Amino acid sequence: MRRRHGVHFDLGAYAVIRIKIVAVGRLKDDFYRKAADEYIKRLSRFAAVKEEECPEGADRGEEALKNEEAEHILKKLSGYVILTDIGGKNPSSEEFAAKLESLVSSGRSEITFVIGGSRGVSERVKAAADERLSFGKMTFPHRLMRVMLLEQIYRAFTITGGLPYHK
């Protein structure tokens, strides 16, 4: 059991936590894949992490593309669903850590994060999410977003675990 900022958190409790990343598109570039794999490896001491990739829709109009991608995304959702979305909440790393800790403490054993395609996601995917998470108003490539999300999840576990990674 570690203590930090008044939070008691048993690192052993993370063994039952499952984190799923549902993302549109593949990590084709070696540098993105290596970075994602590094954070997945680091996270393995806290949670079981699984990536599920969805194919990018055919470019035949924005709504049709989003709806095609939504069919794949919706089939993969389970547990508590957090959608990365520019219109979502924009927490600090500490607030994000507290949110994840609250989910774990309340008995949530699976948390699914969704990263949409380059044109965003359909309203159906937004409606299926329990909450939306923003990384700010800037636009990031969705492949880079996966690495950034994995890093923030790892940072959250180290914050709540009282580990020195977070500065």
Identify the pLDDT of residue 167: 65
Report domain extents, the chain.
Answer: 2-80+90-160
Average pLDDT per block of 10 residues along the chain, 167 residues long: 41 70 94 97 95 89 90 97 95 96 93 94 97 93 94 96 82
Burial label, 15 (beta-carbon count in 10 A; 0-12, 13-18, 19+): exposed
Look at domain 2-80+90-160 and name its CATH class.
Answer: alpha beta
What CA–CA distance (Å, rounded) separates 153 from 99?
Answer: 11
Q: What is this structure's pTM?
A: 0.89
Identify the pLDDT of residue 61: 85
What CA–CA distance (Å, rounded) separates 120 from 118?
Answer: 6
User: What kind and span of H or E run contains 143?
Assistant: helix 142-160
Identify the pLDDT of residue 6: 39
In three-state secondary structure terms, 46 is coil
What CA–CA distance (Å, rounded) separates 78 from 76?
Answer: 7
What CA–CA distance (Å, rounded) separates 24 from 91?
Answer: 23
